[in-house]
Amino acid sequence: MQIAIIGLGRMGGNIARRLMAHGHECLVFDRNREAVSGLQGEGARGASSLQELAGLFAGRRVFWVMLPAGEPTEATIRELAGIAAPGDVVIDGGNTFYKDDIRRARELEPRGIHYVDVGTSGGVWGLERGYCMMIGGPEDTVRELDPVFDALAPGYGDIERTTGRDAPDDRAERGYIHAGPAGAGHFVKMVHNGIEYGLMQAYAEGFDILKTKNSEHLPAEERFDLNLPDIAEVWRRGSVISSWLLDLTAIALAGDRNLQHFSGNVADSGEGRWTLEAAMEEAVPVNVLSAALYARYRSRQDATFGDKLLSAMRYGFGGHVEIPQ
Amino acid sequence: MQIAIIGLGRMGGNIARRLMAHGHECLVFDRNREAVSGLQGEGARGASSLQELAGLFAGRRVFWVMLPAGEPTEATIRELAGIAAPGDVVIDGGNTFYKDDIRRARELEPRGIHYVDVGTSGGVWGLERGYCMMIGGPEDTVRELDPVFDALAPGYGDIERTTGRDAPDDRAERGYIHAGPAGAGHFVKMVHNGIEYGLMQAYAEGFDILKTKNSEHLPAEERFDLNLPDIAEVWRRGSVISSWLLDLTAIALAGDRNLQHFSGNVADSGEGRWTLEAAMEEAVPVNVLSAALYARYRSRQDATFGDKLLSAMRYGFGGHVEIPQ
Amino acid sequence: MQIAIIGLGRMGGNIARRLMAHGHECLVFDRNREAVSGLQGEGARGASSLQELAGLFAGRRVFWVMLPAGEPTEATIRELAGIAAPGDVVIDGGNTFYKDDIRRARELEPRGIHYVDVGTSGGVWGLERGYCMMIGGPEDTVRELDPVFDALAPGYGDIERTTGRDAPDDRAERGYIHAGPAGAGHFVKMVHNGIEYGLMQAYAEGFDILKTKNSEHLPAEERFDLNLPDIAEVWRRGSVISSWLLDLTAIALAGDRNLQHFSGNVADSGEGRWTLEAAMEEAVPVNVLSAALYARYRSRQDATFGDKLLSAMRYGFGGHVEIPQ
Amino acid sequence: MQIAIIGLGRMGGNIARRLMAHGHECLVFDRNREAVSGLQGEGARGASSLQELAGLFAGRRVFWVMLPAGEPTEATIRELAGIAAPGDVVIDGGNTFYKDDIRRARELEPRGIHYVDVGTSGGVWGLERGYCMMIGGPEDTVRELDPVFDALAPGYGDIERTTGRDAPDDRAERGYIHAGPAGAGHFVKMVHNGIEYGLMQAYAEGFDILKTKNSEHLPAEERFDLNLPDIAEVWRRGSVISSWLLDLTAIALAGDRNLQHFSGNVADSGEGRWTLEAAMEEAVPVNVLSAALYARYRSRQDATFGDKLLSAMRYGFGGHVEIPQ
């Protein structure tokens, strides 16, 4: 299938590569000319503008936008809306807020342009392992794109089949789902990332307890000398908490057991926050997901104003002076 | 009443002063000789050892221990156990873990020594405002000490009477309660401090939001220029969140609106932690009290190992590099 | 001053009463005719439509809208926008989201209508105690309305002056502040309510620990028989955690020590949620404020789907069967 | 190797089976005679008392105690201490608090009895998949028991090797580690379970958001019709959050998409609580692990006293009446 990939960063470039490897014809565009020529060298056809990109199609056009969420994606889709013809498809494969998908689909529908949102998980490993995709959009359009999704997805692989599973639609088992109408794909991906934050923080807190148990700040008789790389490794086998994130933890600790190459200033993208907002719209209590997000905020700060206010109150009622440690 | 005060720090010294101001005779001891002579200059009788202190009593001895919780208090009470005679009273007015009170009472009871635990709130303001006391111990002994507690407590003052209150025992309204047998006093004080942590953190987080709303890190059009001293001040009047901690906040902000004199390395004493342990023994969910304690732990650290592990995982699955900010 | 009050519920009615008691002339409107005639009997002039209400003014019109946030307020202000003349003032005294204030002010400004947002705290006690007000809007307009705010505010009262306070503007000490441009008033009020949730939950968790310590579910030797009304009462005097919310707690427990008249299905209004959203926009960690909101969500549910999923996983890996208790 | 298994419940029975399948000779005891005769039928030698069990050994005795933590384990080890001879080994394979291990090792050491603690993960799947084991105890003893641990562990299996791993000790890769001296095994297992709670709750909250997005309580235009079994399934493939717990979730949802067979009254064992206590001893902030534990407490309750107190305060300041939903 002919498909245009717009945005050739880490994700977009690898998506183009994986599609080409499965026999699809990729038309590519990026504001960065070198990214375009790089992909051209791997077999893609490049364009120097969206307009030119549109002209490369033989028939119905399918644009896969893979850009940072927010204005970069928004502006590109606005421009595509002016270029696309009825029957064309615009796919947002980035990390867009699902309500923006709903709005865009409503705007594009009267002009006959089909809007599809794809939440894509897999990171830098997707090229090799395949991408897990959560898709929103019109039933027919999603069906027509099946060869694309099938190429990008991991497929059955050697993952053990879920006991009791008996569903006629095997797409989930091949690594992608049609989650519902526009927005549903990014909604499911958003919650996926919310869970991801929670899982990561659970491991982070646990390993922090293990690491601190070795610390010289504890009295000698309370200390252990725990081997963190071995602990991560052993939990990968037969334990209840084995996971891919644990595999990555084991890799990180194998190479740098004190993680001294990492700053610990942890970024967060929109999904963590949107997940909390969704939870609040539904009145679902989400203490773990919130705590995971806030830990990232806190990681990027020195003493907060709130901390100082605690010091000030303690001084106020008890004469306590907090000495910096 | 003759009463010995052991430990003449900020709390102990003021307790002696307030008792003397109400006509009680204070016998005082501290390892620090200057503290003793200071109080002597204010009318107390000083001793240079616990043994000597015991000898100053004309009749039944009442020892009020006002030392840091843990070994200092424990060692002193152990020594007093060897000195005291049947009928004597040992009071622990510090911040002892309530299970230690229960154990001590059991140890002292067979020897006829009455053990009383007093959770004392009021900080540096207690000398003037009076102390709020939560008392555990034998009914008779607590009753006999009534003149002491009455002198230390704030009394009715000009606090409005609680609508609908109709209890024969007016001690709570005078500022102290007999909470139950040994340990009950410190148990109630422990929960008091747990709540205190939660209240403080609620204010801290709220003021942090206000302060950050003024921050240059926000886009100009999202910023306000909020006057924090005025906000604290106005909330003291007619608002639902007026409190003594808010009064202290207003004082702190009036003097230093950026709280730049405070480090924000916030200490915690045992009560916060014991409150969580008590909650866990009872299976009571306490997300707020926990978060308040953990905020203090975090305030004393730079990047945690857990934060670094998050960075490491993010690098692992997404190639994200966390740059220190 | 002539002022119209629109919405004569618990808050609006008492605001009208307090204004009249301070010599202001109140013109009132409510969809509920009985509410209007009730206030007429207390000296207000009533109207049966906003149009008629506008006609009652002798000069510049000041409309104080005191309706539920969201559509009721929005629709009323939209209608007032069509009625008001340049120079008139529209005040929203309800619990509006501050970004709606910013939008409305922008819409009304070109037409010369001045928009003022007033966050109002004080609840059913405001009539007697006065209201704490946080005000956003144009400097001049807020100044011109000073007689209104002064009448509604508690005034100096007998609250002790904040040590070190030395600000030329004494409005905060009289119970109201001009927090900034449109939206600033409701922003501060929003954070106020966020803090309120946190404070309330801190007390709730603490009293839950105390109450459960009396429970027959604990082994007899671990149990106390704590008197909760007395504990609330004693904490009102000289303790670090005295507050108005504690006063209310003492009243509630004095009348019903087991709180058996309360369902525990706790509602939440928009402010709790908006406070978290504001914190997320600022990347401020707010574990306590979040936990307080989520406790309310949880209080309104039986077993969540999440709980069931925990049961299902436990069954999956351990064969554990969770029996309803 | 000859080894005695004491306690033939779900875990102990399967451990005996797996050991026998690997050629070890199992001597078994349980207070439940049927459990003993069952295992006898599978090739074990049974005993009707610990004394008799000890007599079945040809040489050095190795006792693996696999009983519920607390008194059942404690009493058995106390009895074994009277039976065992110098050089014998007592293994506690249950979920004991690690400080109890440290105490027991100190008590048994002077008598020449070697104490080994084994944290064992794997649940009902361990018989087939093998057990992940975290071991504390003397270096020599743990080495001598290697054939036992090797038989129980999963072994290399087909799990991909950790990139960069380069450790001479391959035991972690075979599924067990010697974590340190007595107590270290159960300490690591305790943290493992703490993490497990956090992971489970992260999934629970995420799926709760997904499920509630389908709910009729939402306005129709905000609702999706998400297929939860498919979502769990697709996340198993190529997503960042794939894990064994997610596999179990997929199985549970495949069989019962509304989880209507589960009560949602979620039990917790000691490890969750002990993990928090360990964190507090180390001053490590653990908001996620705490929230996960507290969610379980809350799941077992109807309205808490704390919830009722919130209702009572809301009534107090706002006249709000909370109606049960």
Chosen from D173, D205, D221, D289 to mutate, greatest number of chain A CBs within 10 A? D205
Q: Is A91 helix (H, G, I), strand (E, B) or coil?
A: strand
Residue of chain C whose alpha carbon sits nearest to that of D213 = C305
Active site residues of B: 189, 196
Give kind and range of the element (H or E) at residue A136. strand A132-136
Torsion of CA D118, D124, D129, D130, to 10 degrees: 20
Its ipTM equals 0.95
Q: Is A40 helix (H, G, I), strand (E, B) or coil?
A: helix
pLDDT tens-digit profile of A262-284?
888 999 989 999 999 999 999 99
Residue D323 pLDDT: 56
Residue A197 pLDDT: 96
Kindly calculate the radius of gyration of chain C based on its CA atoms and give it in whole angstroms: 24
> How close B267 comes to chain A (CA, Å)?
7
Q: What is the pLDDT along chain A (325 residues), one digit of tens a residue?
A: 999 999 999 899 999 999 999 999 999 999 999 999 999 999 999 999 999 999 999 999 999 999 999 999 999 999 999 999 999 999 999 999 999 999 999 999 999 999 999 999 987 888 989 999 999 999 999 999 999 999 999 999 889 999 999 888 999 999 999 999 999 999 999 999 999 999 999 999 999 999 999 999 999 999 999 999 999 999 999 899 999 999 999 999 998 999 988 888 999 989 999 999 999 999 999 999 999 999 999 999 987 888 888 888 888 887 777 654 4
Q: Is B258 helix (H, G, I), strand (E, B) or coil?
A: coil
Closest partner residue to B209 (CB to CB) among C134, C230, C279 is: C279
Helix axes C305-318, D287-299, angle to 10 degrees: 100
> How close D88 comes to chain C (CA, Å)?
31
First to last CA, chain B: 62
Q: In whole angstroms, what is the distance from residue B12 CA to residue B49 CA?
A: 16
Category of C135 on φ-ψ map: left (φ > 0), alpha (ψ -120 to 50) or beta: beta
- Residue A189 is among the residues annotated as catalytic for this protein: yes
Could you tell me where the beta strands, DSSP code E, fall in D162-203? 176-180
Which residue ranges form the domains of chain C, and what is each CATH number?
2-180 (3.40.50.720), 189-303 (1.10.1040.10)
Tokens of D265: 């009254």
Residue D263 pLDDT: 84
Mean pLDDT estimate for chain D: 94
Q: In whole angstroms, what is the distance from residue B31 CA to residue B62 CA?
A: 19
Confidence class for position B158, pLDDT limits 50, 70, 90: confident
Q: Per the CB < 8 Å rule, is D297 touching B283?
A: yes
Residue D6 pLDDT > 50, yes or no? yes
Q: Per the CB < 8 Å rule, is A248 touching B312?
A: yes
Closest partner residue to B204 (CB to CB) among A244, A310, A319 is: A310
Residue C303 pLDDT: 75
Kindly calculate the radius of gyration of chain D based on its CA atoms and give it in whole angstroms: 24
Torsion of CA B270, B273, B276, B282, to 10 degrees: -50
Residue D325 pLDDT > 50, yes or no? no
Higher pLDDT, B261 or D283: D283
CA atoms C308, C311, C316, C320: torsion sign: negative
Closest CA to A287 of D277, C283, D197, D313: D197
What residues of chain B lie within 8 A of the CB of C201, using their CB? 198, 202, 287-288
CB-defined contacts C:D, below 8 A = 206
Chains that touch A (3 or more CB pairs under 8 A): B, C, D
Residue B323 pLDDT: 56
> How close A277 comes to chain C (CA, Å)?
7
- Residue D196 is among the residues annotated as catalytic for this protein: yes
Residue of chain D whose alpha carbon sits nearest to that of B316 = D240
Could you tell me where the beta strands, DSSP code E, fall in A30-75? 45-46, 62-65
Q: Per the CB < 8 Å rule, is D263 touching C322?
A: yes
Closest partner residue to D299 (CB to CB) among C211, C300, C307 is: C307
What residues of chain B lie within 8 A of the CB of C281, using their CB? 218, 222
Q: Per the CB < 8 Å rule, is B172 touching C230?
A: yes
Closest partner residue to A208 (CB to CB) among B123, B295, B305 is: B305
Category of D58 on φ-ψ map: left (φ > 0), alpha (ψ -120 to 50) or beta: alpha
> How close D47 comes to chain A (CA, Å)?
31
Chosen from C99, C163, C287 to mutate, greatest number of chain A CBs within 10 A? C287
Choose, from D189, D205, D211, D282, the residue flagged as catalytic. D189
Could you tell me where the beta strands, DSSP code E, fall in C68-152? 89-92, 114-121, 132-136
Q: Per the CB < 8 Å rule, is D298 touching C298?
A: yes
Mean pLDDT estimate for chain B: 94
Q: Are C209 and B275 in contact (CB under 8 A)?
A: yes
Q: In whole angstroms, what is the distance from residue A197 CA to residue A289 CA?
A: 7
What residues of chain D lie within 8 A of the CB of A225, using their CB? 180
Give kind and range of the element (H or E) at residue D6. strand D2-6
Tokens of A110: 């009267």
Chosen from A129, A158, A162 to mutate, greatest number of chain D CBs within 10 A? A162
Q: Per the CB < 8 Å rule, is D285 touching B294?
A: yes
Choose, from A25, A196, A211, A233, the residue flagged as catalytic. A196
Confidence class for position B163, pLDDT limits 50, 70, 90: very high
Q: Is C58 helix (H, G, I), strand (E, B) or coil?
A: coil
Residue A315 pLDDT: 82
Q: Which range has the worst mean pLDDT, B165-174, B284-293, C72-81, D107-116?
A: B165-174
Who contacts C228 (Cβ-Cβ below 8 Å, separation ≥6)?
C207, C210, C211, C253, C257
Q: Per the CB < 8 Å rule, is A280 touching C276?
A: yes
pLDDT tens-digit profile of A75-102?
999 999 999 999 999 999 999 999 999 9
Task: Calculate what percentage of chain B has a pLDDT beyond 90.
Answer: 84
Q: Per the CB < 8 Å rule, is D234 touching A172?
A: yes
What residues of chain A lie within 8 A of the CB of D194, using their CB? 205-206, 209
Residue of chain D whose alpha carbon sits nearest to that of B317 = D240
Tokens of D139: 């270096």
Chosen from D163, D192, D239 to mutate, greatest number of chain A CBs within 10 A? D239
Q: In whole angstroms, what is the distance from residue A178 CA to residue A137 CA?
A: 8
What residues of chain D lie within 8 A of the CB of C324, using their CB? 263, 265
Q: In whole angstroms, what is the distance from residue D44 CA to residue D39 CA?
A: 6
Q: In whole angstroms, what is the distance from residue C275 CA to residue C260 CA?
A: 31
Chains that touch D (3 or more CB pairs under 8 A): A, B, C
Chosen from C125, C308, C314 to mutate, greatest number of chain D CBs within 10 A? C308
Q: Per the CB < 8 Å rule, is B307 touching A207?
A: no
Q: Per the CB < 8 Å rule, is B259 touching A312?
A: yes
Average pLDDT over residues B200-211: 96
Q: In whole angstroms, what is the distance from residue D53 CA to residue D83 CA?
A: 10
Q: Per the CB < 8 Å rule, is D202 touching A288?
A: yes
The strand pair at A2-6 and A25-29 is best described as: parallel
CB-defined contacts A:C, below 8 A = 48
Q: What is the pLDDT along chain C (325 residues), one digit of tens a residue?
A: 999 999 999 899 999 999 999 999 999 999 999 999 999 999 999 999 999 999 999 999 999 999 999 999 999 999 999 999 999 999 999 999 999 999 999 999 999 999 999 999 987 888 989 999 999 999 999 999 999 999 999 999 889 999 999 888 999 999 999 999 999 999 999 999 999 999 999 999 999 999 999 999 999 999 999 999 999 999 999 899 999 999 999 999 998 999 988 888 899 989 999 999 999 999 999 999 999 999 999 999 987 888 888 888 888 887 777 654 4
> How close A292 comes to chain B (CA, Å)?
10
Residue D125 pLDDT: 86
Residue of chain A whose alpha carbon sits nearest to that of D209 = A279
What residues of chain A lie within 8 A of the CB of B317, using their CB? 123-125, 244-245, 248
> How close C13 comes to chain B (CA, Å)?
18
Cα of D229 vs its chain's centroid, Å: 26
